[in-house]
Amino acid sequence: MGHTDMRKGMQGLALLVQQDLGRNPHGGDLFVFRGRAGSLVKIIWHDGVGMSLYAKRLEKGRFIWPSAKDGTVSLTSSQLACLLEGVDWRNPRYTWRPTSAG
């Protein structure tokens, strides 16, 4: 995950993954990029058959973005789902939790 020039398409982002992050863009992982303004994300991944590109722009608000010391951060699928909805995935609030087993 990282901030990048959001004019890049699949090939440009895949090249960033390979050269800047030292990762394999064809390995099946999702790579998420956010623009400087924080309202646009792009995701690239290879499903074994071909490369895909997903883009989402929030009409209001910003995507909550992790701080990445080494340029990358790993998220669970639930955290990514929250991020894509504009929810603060770092501190989700549960609406109910059980207080006892019986």
Q: Structure tokens of 45? A: 């991944």
91 pLDDT higher than 70: yes
The verdict on residue 97 lying in a domain is: no
The residue segments making up the domain with residue 33 are 2-84
The verdict on residue 80 lying in a domain is: yes
What pLDDT is stored for residue 13 in this prediction?
94
The verdict on residue 72 lying in a domain is: yes
The whole-model pTM stands at 0.79
Provide the pairing of β-strand 31-34 with 40-46.
antiparallel
Going through the chain in order, the beta strands assigned E by DSSP cover 2-3, 31-34, 40-46, 51-57
The verdict on residue 93 lying in a domain is: no
Q: Structure tokens of 102? A: 């019986």
CA nearest to 73, candidates 58, 85, 63: 63
The verdict on residue 95 lying in a domain is: no
Q: What is the pLDDT of residues 3-59, one digit of tens each?
A: 566 788 999 999 999 998 899 999 999 999 988 888 999 999 999 999 999 999 999
The verdict on residue 91 lying in a domain is: no
Please report, as a single letter, which amino acid is at residue 101. Answer: A
Count of domains observed in the chain: 1
